A and B are shown apart, each in its own frame.
Chain A
Amino acid sequence: MKAFNKNNIIQIIILVAIIIIGNVLVSVGIIDSYIELNIVLIGINIILAVSLNLIVGFTGLFSLGHAAFMSIGAYTSAVLTRNFNSPFIFAILMSGLVASLAGILIGIPTLRLKGDYLAIATLGFGEIVRVLALNNDYIGGAIGFNDIPQYTNWNYTFIMVVLTVVLISNFVKSSHGRACISIRENEIASEAMGINTTFYKVLAFAIGAFFAGIAGSLYANYFYFIKPDSFGFMKSIDILVMVVFGGLGSIPGSIIGALSLTVISTLLQSIPDLRMVIYAVILFLIMLFRPQGIMGDTEFRLLNKKEVKHNVSSKGK
């Protein structure tokens, strides 16, 4: 079994082709700024949904504070790129790392809690992060953080989305990912089989937070301006809805969930008065008619077509 085979190479060629096509479309103006805005938003939401799915869908940790990690990433990136003129790629990486560190710090004490209690604690942490940001003058407090250089573009968005999807898919299909899923399925048995459940819960949290931080970075460096209230409880819920709509434990589901809900909310912009009312009704209808999500927990093999092959050579006992 080799790391690089024909399929990998074909996949890489396809991805490079998509990037190039995207660039061409941008340069000839077919992707105008409005379409690009939506592509960036969809990309950011895919990263958020896939990373939250690792936490909620695969590991079974009910988190209502994902937007807090996005917020930490966004502010890290904003400070680094505006105040320190750091290169964007470094800012992206640092955003992920700082958010991940926050995830670990928050995770170690709270991940002992289960179910709804964990949900409440993560919600609480999200609110605390927001209130702290509101009262920190260095990052603009309630007024917000302005004049962030606009670096996010088609290339960064696409590459980060692909990285998120590939790395998280790789993770869940490894023994470490299986350990996370086993915690969701039966924590006591998982522990009895030698899995350090605390470690894996914190790990899932840290990886999820890492990518949420990256999403925050892309967000901050696209919209010039961020404020703490953009990353409140409702943003966490929006991400959770994408994950649940797509299907808990399904990465393609999260992608579709992020895509469709972003499109829905963009379309609803045209009726500002009733936007939220209709959004609420749509949420309700989704939960009513498709509570298991559109993809259930199915995985289609889009990017990792080749499973690790197995064959039993020796027969008999």
Chain B
Amino acid sequence: MEFVIQQLINGISLGSIYALIALGYTMVYGIINLINFAHGEIYMMGAFVGYALTTFLGLGFIPSLIISMITCSILGILIEKVAYKPLRSSSRISLLITAIAVSLFLQYIMVYFVGPETRTFPEVVDSERLMLFDGKVILDTRNIYILGITVILMVLLQYVVRKTKTGKAMRAVSQDKDAAELMGISVDKVISVTFAIGSALAGAAGVLVGIYYNTINPLMGSGPGLKAFVAAVLGGIGLIPGAVLGGFSLGLIETLVSAYGGSIYKDAVAFAILIIVLLLKPSGLLGKDVKEKV
């Protein structure tokens, strides 16, 4: 029993990370129908910015988190403007390959500048271990930080999307770009805002991973990036609650599979679940099935 609780704690932390990255994937897909493969690299950049701020400038956790999020949102906007905008009218496959090109570019430009080796993230958060159930379950304060910050960011995101004018514009553009444009919404601006918000969340995930797992490297984005994308599809791509649900489910499933001896298969399990869900409900857990009208 204690073992399961321990795994749930770990799973929720991992799930938080996936959910934060998945949100960016899902938002971008909702707006421009692009699987933004470079999103995992934004998360990696977030981790590196956080690393630089804490290690070289000695900043604390919260300032580093905020600056890292801002840097990532600028990077996200930049990527969209430089790489995706010129191709907005091209085919889906071209756009997808461009996203992969951006992803490779960021990975290897970082390898070039900072080297491929893994770095240790400084301990910027006091790691206190709370012993529960007679010490059989360890709740690290970092677990609480991760979940807390994730929840705060999600509440903020909900507020922006549901209550603000920008959020309304985003929802309008995701429904019908042309109609939104005709109603006086600047589609370009909405796309930029979407990339900014999505990238900021990925940046936050990067810093959180840094403090939780302590190690970062330039290629760290591709694995979790792909997983987060799986999470987004699992929940129903284009849906914000779907990304959250998918992220946490995937985090929990992976942790449990690893805990029960299947760690070598955990990547395969994630994809197997994805395929099963797609086959049973192609639009994801929370998605609505839309059939082409004849």
A–B proximity contact (CB within 8 A): yes
Chain A residues close to B by CB (< 8 Å)? 56, 62, 109-110, 112-117, 119-121, 123-125, 127-128, 131-132, 134-135, 188, 233, 237, 240-241, 244, 248, 273-277, 279-281, 283-284, 287-288, 291-292
Residues of A within 8 A of B91 (CB): 291-292
Q: Given A244-B93, A288-B87, answer yes or no on A237-B100 (Cβ-Cβ < 8 Å).
A: yes
B108 CB within 8 Å of chain A: yes
CA distance A110 to B93 in the complex (A): 19
CA distance A65 to B97 in the complex (A): 14
A277, B275: Cβ atoms closer than 8 Å: no
Q: Given A132-B268, A280-B101, A283-B100, answer yes or no on A288-B86 (Cβ-Cβ < 8 Å).
A: yes
* Chain B contact residues: helix, strand, loop or mixed: helix
B278, A117: Cβ atoms closer than 8 Å: yes
* Chain A contact residues: helix, strand, loop or mixed: helix
Residues of B within 8 A of A241 (CB): 97
B98 CB within 8 Å of chain A: yes
Choose among A113, A128, A132 the residue with the greatest number of B CB atoms under 10 Å from its CB: A128
B268, A128: Cβ atoms closer than 8 Å: yes
**Which residue in chain B gives the minimum CB-CB distance to A189?**
B294
A277, B109: Cβ atoms closer than 8 Å: yes
Residues of B within 8 A of A275 (CB): 108
**Which residue in chain A gives the minimum CB-CB distance to B91?**
A291
Q: Given A127-B268, A131-B265, A287-B90, answer yes or no on A276-B107 (Cβ-Cβ < 8 Å).
A: yes
Residues of B within 8 A of A233 (CB): 226
Q: Given A124-B271, A131-B268, A280-B105, answer yes or no on A116-B97 (Cβ-Cβ < 8 Å).
A: no
Shortest distance from the beta carbon of A149 to any chain B beta carbon, whole Å? 29
**Which residue in chain B gives the minimum CB-CB distance to A120?**
B233
Residues of A within 8 A of B90 (CB): 287, 291
Shortest distance from the beta carbon of A132 to any chain B beta carbon, whole Å? 6
Residues of B within 8 A of A120 (CB): 35, 229-230, 233, 274, 278
B104's partner among A115, A117, A276 (CB-CB below 8 A) is A276
A276, B97: Cβ atoms closer than 8 Å: no
Shortest distance from the beta carbon of B222 to any chain A beta carbon, whole Å? 8
A134, B264: Cβ atoms closer than 8 Å: yes
CB-based closest 3 A-B pairs: A124-B271, A280-B105, A276-B108
B182 CB within 8 Å of chain A: no
B278, A128: Cβ atoms closer than 8 Å: no
